[in-house]
Amino acid sequence: MADVPQNLKYTQEHEWIRVDNGVAVVGITQFASNQLGDVVFVDVPTVGKTVEAGDSFGTVESVKAVSELFAPVSGKVVEVNSELEVSPELVNEEPYGDGWIIKLQPSSPKDIDGLLSPAAYADLIKQEQEG
Amino acid sequence: MARRTPLNEAHRKLGARMVDFVGWDMPVQYSSIIEEHEAVRTAVGLFDVSHMGEVEFRGPGALETANRLISNDLAKCADGQAVYAGLLNEQGTFVDDVVAYRFSPEHIFVCVNSSNREKDFAWMSERAQGVKPVDRSDDFAQIAVQGPKAPGLVQRLTKADLSKVGTYRFTEGEVAGVKCIISRTGYTGEDGFELYCAPNDAEKLWNALLQEGQTDGVKPCGLGARDSLRTEMKYALYGNDIDDAHTALEAGLGWIVKLDKPGGFIGKEALEKQKAAGVKRKLVGFEVTGRGIPRHGYPILKNGQRVGEVTSGTMGPSVKKPIGIGYVPTELAAEGSTFDVEIRGQPVTAQVVKTPFWKKP
């Protein structure tokens, strides 16, 4: 069973989000990184770009497949994880830690409350595994 | 309901991630594609390739019949030798690519792609002048044992002297007590064997190879690693790099086309014409020098104009670069030529390189 930390919020598209001092850190879940397999490339927007909730803001690629990244909430990109350029495998190894992908300044921080709770996300991946 | 190979249960027990592959329930990976890929490059990997099809020609005239259907020349082979060949349409394009085995002039065995089994058999049956082909696909399972430690591993399990079985040669014998065709062929760029056995024996053979191979660092490998390994060699994949819309000459497979062989073959006239007129597009290998990974179907652009298409692409786990294969106009096919690959709407620079991408260090 994939790890679903209790201190995060989640999306249907398997991103997680955590707010640190008003800035939202975004990554993909361990379940998503397991499904994808060995991550070999991460493509992210440039700092300063604005993204809309639900829009594709980049891609994560494994040897075999390309997966879109979807913005959990609207906001401005304030930082990207440049470590992933040289070590994309961090997304597999530490999806909730050093494998984070971007940091967003949310345009409406309360939107984060509407995302999936850990329990709801755990249910979602259970359904996907059984499906 | 997807078809299953005799090793389906064995894959599940090993924790493989299964996917639908052209109607077959097949393992795409067990642990990690990169780990499996590396195991084949440095030690040994096992692949279940039982989904491949087999067609046999037996009786007087078998050699002549089969040889007219394939582009390469079995008449120049010795008994116990195999060749890579095209099954070509009248237009010189691919019905399939195959490996044809010459047991004797009266016994030819052809291994075909799983996705083309039915089509190939119907095609061969219609055009065979002489001996009628027999579809033996359900009589064989196939396990590929690939990697530098493959010869040692298989040798420990058989009395057959494998030092006498050179590349693209084969013999018959028991491996781990299982009757096999032992063929020194493969699709990874590494030394190794493809073992054909009865479906009921497949699990016994698979388990014996896994057990005996422990000291070699053997790994069961899925279709993911098979694809990355073959891409690094620029080995064509039917449906991606070769198909019925591109000729053997365009695919850079002139070496499997024997235009001067006595008796000719289907597609010969079209290829002679194309050769005389000049080939207008070619399948090349390229490296992406910008940021991004090329994938099947991505457009190839020159000065903003679409001039071709990526047929295969990946991040090569051994070459550690994004590599691709694709058709481009002949004037862009020379080593060093540059063009763009459109990756999700953005042009990214790529350069034609010498292939195979991967060479043993």
Q: What is the pLDDT of residues A12-23, one digit of tens each?
A: 999 999 998 999
Q: What is this model's ipTM?
A: 0.87
Average pLDDT on A14-38 reads 95
For residue A64, pLDDT beyond 90: no
Is A33:A96 a contact under the CB 8 Å cutoff?
no
Q: What is the mean pLDDT of residues A106-113?
A: 92
| Chain B contact probe: residue of A43, A44, A64 with most B CBs at under 10 A | A64
In chain B, where are the structural domains located? 7-44+140-232, 53-137, 280-360
Give the residue from chain A lying closest to B35, CA to CA. Answer: A38
Average pLDDT over residues A80-98: 96
**How high does pLDDT run on average in chain A?**
94
CB-CB: which of B228, B291, B292 is closest to A63? B228
Whether A78 contacts A42, CB under 8 Å: no
Mean pLDDT of B256-278: 97
- What is the nearest CA distance from A63 to chain B, expressed in angstroms? 6
Q: Does A82 contact chain B (CB < 8 Å)? A: no
Query: Which pTM does this prediction carry?
Result: 0.95
Rounded Cα gap, residues B284 and B271, in angstroms: 19
Q: Which residue has the tokens 């080939």?
A: B279
Residue closest to B238 by CA, chosen among B358, B63, B99, B355: B99
pLDDT over 70 (residue B232): yes
Average pLDDT over residues A31-37: 93
Q: How confident is the model at residue B1, as a pLDDT? A: 75
Taking an 8 Å cut-off on Cβ atoms, the answer to whether A37 and B314 are in contact is no
Side chain identity at residue B115, one-letter code? S
Contact B314 A38 (CB under 8 A): no
Average pLDDT over residues B297-326: 97
- Name the residue among B148, B150, B198, B191 with its Cα closest to residue B174: B198
- For residues B257 and B72, the answer to whether their CB atoms sit within 8 Å is yes
The answer, yes or no, to whether residue A1 has pLDDT greater than 80, is no
What pLDDT digit, counting tens, does each position of B95-126 carry? 999 999 999 999 999 999 999 999 999 999 99
Q: Where are the domains of chain A?
A: 9-106
CB within 8 Å: B37 and A62: no
Q: In this complex, do B33 and A66 lie within 8 Å of one another by their Cβ atoms?
A: no
Q: Do A63 and B33 touch (CB under 8 A)?
A: yes
Q: Per-residue pLDDT tens for B145-165?
A: 999 999 999 999 999 999 999
Fold classified for B53-137: Alpha-Beta Plaits (3.30.70)
Which of A33, A36, A38 to mutate against chain B (most B CBs within 10 Å)? A38
Give the pLDDT of residue A61: 96
Neighbours of A105 (CB within 10 A): 14
The CATH H-level (homologous superfamily) assignment of domain B7-44+140-232 is Probable tRNA modification gtpase trme; domain 1 (3.30.1360.120)
| pLDDT tens for each residue of B18-41 | 999 999 999 999 999 999 999 999
pLDDT at residue A2, rounded to an integer: 79
CA of A37 vs chain B CAs: smallest distance (Å): 6
Say if residues A92 and A73 touch (Cβ distance below 8 Å).
no
According to the model, what pLDDT value does residue B33 have? 97
User: Considering only residues 284 to 323 of chain B, which have any Cβ-Cβ distance to chain A shorter than 8 Å?
Assistant: 291-293, 295, 314-315, 317, 322
- Percent of chain B past pLDDT 90, that is, above it, reads 99
Q: Which of B236, B281, B279 is nearest to B99 (CA)?
A: B236
Report CA dihedral (B157, B111, B238, B207) to the nearest 10 degrees: -30
Q: Is A64–B33 a contact, with Cβ atoms under 8 angstroms apart?
A: yes
Give helix B33-42 / helix B223-232 axis angle, nearest 10°: 60
Query: Residue B194 annotated as binding?
Result: yes
Distances (CA, A) of B316 to B105, B253, B341: 41, 22, 17
Amino acid at B17: R
B317 closest CB neighbour out of A41, A43, A63:
A63
Fold of A9-106: OB fold (Dihydrolipoamide Acetyltransferase, E2P) (2.40.50)
Fold of B280-360: Elongation Factor Tu (Ef-tu); domain 3 (2.40.30)
- Any chain B CB within 8 A of the CB of A66? yes
Q: For residue range B38-96, what is the model confidence (pLDDT) as tens digits? A: 999 999 999 999 999 999 999 999 999 999 999 999 999 999 999 999 999 999 999 99
Region A40-52: what's the mean pLDDT? 95
Q: Which two tokens stand for residue B306?
A: 């679409």
The average pLDDT across B263-267 equals 96
pLDDT at position A130 is 81
